[in-house]
Structure 1
Amino acid sequence: MKSGVVRVQFVTRPFDASARQTRFGHGEPCPGHEGLRGPDTGQWAGRALDEVAAEDPDGIRRWLTDPAYAPPGGESLAELVSRVGAVLAGLPSGTHRPVVEQAVVRAAVVHALELPLPAFWRLDARPDSVTTLTGRAGRWNLLLGRADDAGTGR
Structure 2
Amino acid sequence: MPETTPQAPPDPPVRLHLTTPPLDAAARRGRFGYGAPCPGHPGLAGPATGDWAGRTLEEVAAEDPRGIRDWLTDPHYAPPGGGESVAALIARTGAHLAALPPGRHDAVVEQAVVRAAVVWALELPEQAFWRLDVRPGTVTALSGRSGRWNLLVGRPAGE
TM-score by length of 1: 0.90
SS in 1 for 2:149: strand
- CA shift for structure 1 position 145: 6.4
TM-score by length of 2: 0.88
- CA shift for structure 1 position 144: 3.6
Residue of structure 2 equivalent to 1:50: 58
Match of 2:92 among 80, 83, 88: 83
Once the two structures are superposed, what CA deviation does each residue of 1:47-83 show, in whole Å capped at 9, x if it has no partner? 0100000000000000001011000121100000000
1:21 matched to 2:29? The reply is yes
Count of residues in Structure 1 that have an aligned counterpart in Structure 2: 148
Opposite residue 68 of structure 1, the aligned amino acid is H
C-alpha distance in 1 between matches for 2:12 and 2:100: 10
Where does the alignment leave 5 or more consecutive residues of structure 1 unmatched?
A: none
Residue of structure 2 equivalent to 1:31: 39
SS in 1 for 2:61: helix
What are the equivalent positions in structure 2 for 1:98-117 lying under 5 Å apart? 98-117=107-126
Residue of structure 2 equivalent to 1:60: 68
Structure 1 segments (4+ residues) deviating >6 Å: none
State percent identity of aligned pairs.
68
Where does the alignment leave 5 or more consecutive residues of structure 2 unmatched?
A: 1-10
RMSD: 1.6
